A and B are shown apart, each in its own frame.
Chain A
Amino acid sequence: MLQSPLNRRPGGLPLLHAENLTRIYPPPRRGLLRRGVGVHAVAGVSFEIHAGEALGLVGESGSGKTTIGRMVSATLLPTSGTVSLDGATFTNPMPLRRRARVQAVFQDSLGALNPRIRIGRQIEEPMIIHGFDRDARAGRIASLMADVGLPHSILARFPGEVSGGQRQRVLIARALVLKPEVLVCDEPVSALDVSVQAQVINLLAELRSQHRLTILFISHDLRVVRHLCDRVAVLYCGRIVEIGPIASVIDTPSHPYTRALIDALPPDQPGQRRVPSGRSSDAGTDASTGAGCAFASRCLQVEKLCLESAPALRPLRPGHASACHFAGTL
């Protein structure tokens, strides 16, 4: 397990604090004046990340993972709720110096880079905006290239000319160029082949311990999260349904949805039979459902209570909480 010395200081203040984050996407127009109903992509999500800690965020597509990532990296404003770094709340516009402290790496490396600008210039640009002089920029780029394991020659190429794995390293280099404290990684390895995926996961782990990075790692793959993260939050329909230390959540899942996610993973070895579980319907994406638990329609252990009242996120053990009426008896 990758533990940093700063992890979970008792009584210490968290570095990053998301409180009651809610994001409603505006409804599409239907006709001239009528508007449809907005989608509650994220509803009342709160979490903290301590300095040097890596928090994983898992869930199916449409569960609100990316929306949370964008709000935490200050590229999207929450409809309500706040994100604060070291006690200072994100504002719009955000002062440059504070913005530099949180940076993001995205899944689609080709879409995140400008195809017509050379890679070197794209890595350098944030430093130009932040007023670094020429020598400082060159020095920083040279040390970064060594950190992310890219040859210097790549700086003169265009994004379309290099492989997917190399482009992902370019994105990581660009995110790190301003020495941020918090790195938001939105599915950074999902589009990569397994061997390259392993290289990039190792790189993130190394960079994390070298630079004492605090990471919010968004993924749909619990196997990758287990390798990189200290804690994990499981998201369903825009709400956290379970959060806790990674080993505790994977070994003793306390929400039926977490269990379904784990059971759905392919086995590590041939012959370890996976147990089919969960009802066969697709996940919803809107958190504004009526009364009752949002997972009730897919849950195998559903009871009358689940349809009547929505369970709140309640602590089970220190640091481990679940939003299930029957979390204790699973």
Chain B
Amino acid sequence: MPVAELAFAPGIDAYEPSHRGEPILEVRNLAVAVDDGLAVENVDLSLEAGRTHCLVGESGCGKSLTCLALMGLLPPGARGVSGNLRMKGRSGAIPEKGPPEGLAMIYQDATASLDPLMTVGRQIVEALPADVPRRARRAEAEDLIAQVGIPHARARFESYPHELSGGMNQRIAIAIALAARPSVLLADEPTTALDVTVQARILDLMLEFQQSTGLAILFVTHDLGVVAQIAHDVSVMYCGEIVESGPVTDLFAAPRHPYSRGLVECLPRLSRQTERLESIAGIVPPLQARPTGCRFASRCTRADDLCSTQRPCLERRGNTGAVACFNPL
């Protein structure tokens, strides 16, 4: 990838391919089974230090389930998970229970993800690595509170989640995630429920941490605006599968999959006021009624006979990116 294409990325110097190390986290063939079938299938992901990979798609496409599966936190409805995980050179099957070391996650509803009966300070202390001595733990937690931009850290240490706003709680959630000193952070729509002004500050905060620690971030969102702001790489998910994957500039400038194009086009923009917004006709087929061929075929304007009988696989196209489509744009 040419350096120039990446140089714009907010606050992060360009990573040249030759300078880019091995991926920190590689996922191969992730599948999650639920009662009605496979909710997530054939998902490959690769995360690199200091880079943000965005996972985009509509509700029910399996974005959150992908994160939860990686964390070993499958919801009660899930039957099982399969796939391989390679992290810092070590590889193995995806663990069914408990997160692999070095992985931390923040959730959409921060207030609900915190324990209402415990002070936020104690919740941070709890997440610190075991080798931090007992005397230093409180000071370290207060440090983290200050680092995530909350004033009066000492006083806030004693606060309960209900005493703080949604934005503040999301900062606490970030502090908890960072307390374990992860090398990979999974963020499941952490700003969707927040005001735009608060969202902007939370995203800035995550970027600052990424710059100073080289954190790899997997960021799940359905807001293409957020993708444009923070992503280096993007994977577009539809019906449990990744349909397009590549650098963020390619997705916005020249999306290859008709679904990706639809997503980019239907974003309302401040700089442009058109008579009509583009929209993708139809709805996402439910899990029980997924078509045998391409899962997007019934909503696609480019679909032909092949699309309704055969499933396209994710294939490399050109130098960058991959797309799962028989008739790519």
Contact = CB atoms under 8 A, between A and B. Distances in A.
Contacts of B226: 266
B195 A61 contact: yes
A79 interface: no
A219 to B, nearest CB: 10
B199 A227 contact: no
Interface in A240-271: 247, 250, 260-271
Interface of B: 8-10, 58-59, 149, 165, 167-168, 195-201, 204, 222-229, 231, 248-249, 252, 262-263, 266-280, 283
Given A61-B195, A201-B268, 12 more contacts: A164-B59, A194-B263, A202-B277, A220-B195, A226-B270, A261-B196, A264-B199, A265-B196, A268-B269, A270-B8, A280-B149, A282-B198
A278 B200 CA distance: 10
Contacts of A199: 279
Contacts of B275: 2
Contact of A267 (B225, B278, B280): B225
A264 B201 CA distance: 8
Contacts of A263: 200
A98 to B, nearest CB: 34
A59 to B, nearest CB: 9
A152 interface: no
A267 B252 CA distance: 12
A92 interface: no
Nearest to B229: A266
B279 A202 contact: yes
Contacts of B167: 282
Interface in A270-309: 270-274, 276, 278, 280, 282-283
- A interface bracket (residues with beta carbon within 8 Å of B): 35 or more
A244 to B, nearest CB: 16
Given A267-B225, A269-B252, A274 B200 contact: yes
A130 interface: no
A211 to B, nearest CB: 17
Contact of A193 (B59, B149, B165): B59
A163 interface: yes
B270 A265 contact: yes
B10 A273 contact: yes
Contact of B279 (A195, A220, A221, A282): A195
A200 to B, nearest CB: 9
Interface string A70-91: 0000000000000000000000
A267 B229 contact: yes
Contacts of A196: 58, 279, 283
A224 interface: yes
Contact of B225 (A165, A201, A227, A265): A265
A202 B276 contact: yes
B197 A266 contact: no
B37 to A, nearest CB: 19
B235 to A, nearest CB: 15
Contacts of A193: 58-59, 222
B252 A270 contact: yes
B261 to A, nearest CB: 11
Interface residue SS majority, chain B: loop
23 contacts: A60-B197, A164-B59, A194-B58, A195-B58, A196-B283, A197-B266, A198-B277, A221-B268, A227-B268, A227-B273, A264-B197, A266-B226, A267-B225, A268-B271, A270-B231, A270-B252, A271-B8, A272-B228, A276-B201, A278-B197, A282-B167, A282-B168, A283-B195
Interface in A200-235: 201-202, 205, 220-224, 226-227
Contact of A198 (B8, B268, B283): B268
A221 B270 CA distance: 10
Contact of B196 (A163, A221, A270, A282): A221
Closest 6 CB pairs of A and B: A266-B225, A271-B8, A198-B266, A198-B279, A264-B200, A198-B277
B161 to A, nearest CB: 15
A261 to B, nearest CB: 7
A32 interface: no
A286 to B, nearest CB: 14
B278 A262 contact: no
Contact of A223 (B195, B199, B248, B270): B270
Contacts of B195: 60-61, 220, 283
A136 interface: no
Nearest to B286: A163
A33 interface: no
A129 interface: no
A96 interface: no
Contacts of A272: 228
B299 to A, nearest CB: 9
Contacts of A61: 195
Which of B195, B197, B227, B266 gathers most chain A CB within 10 Å? B197
Contacts of A1: 273
A193 B268 CA distance: 12
Contacts of B279: 195-196, 198-199, 202
Contacts of A223: 225, 267-270
A220 B196 contact: yes
A198 B276 CA distance: 9
A220 B195 CA distance: 7
Given A194-B224, A195-B58, A270-B252, A224 B268 contact: yes
A226 B268 contact: yes
Nearest to B266: A198
A327 B198 CA distance: 24
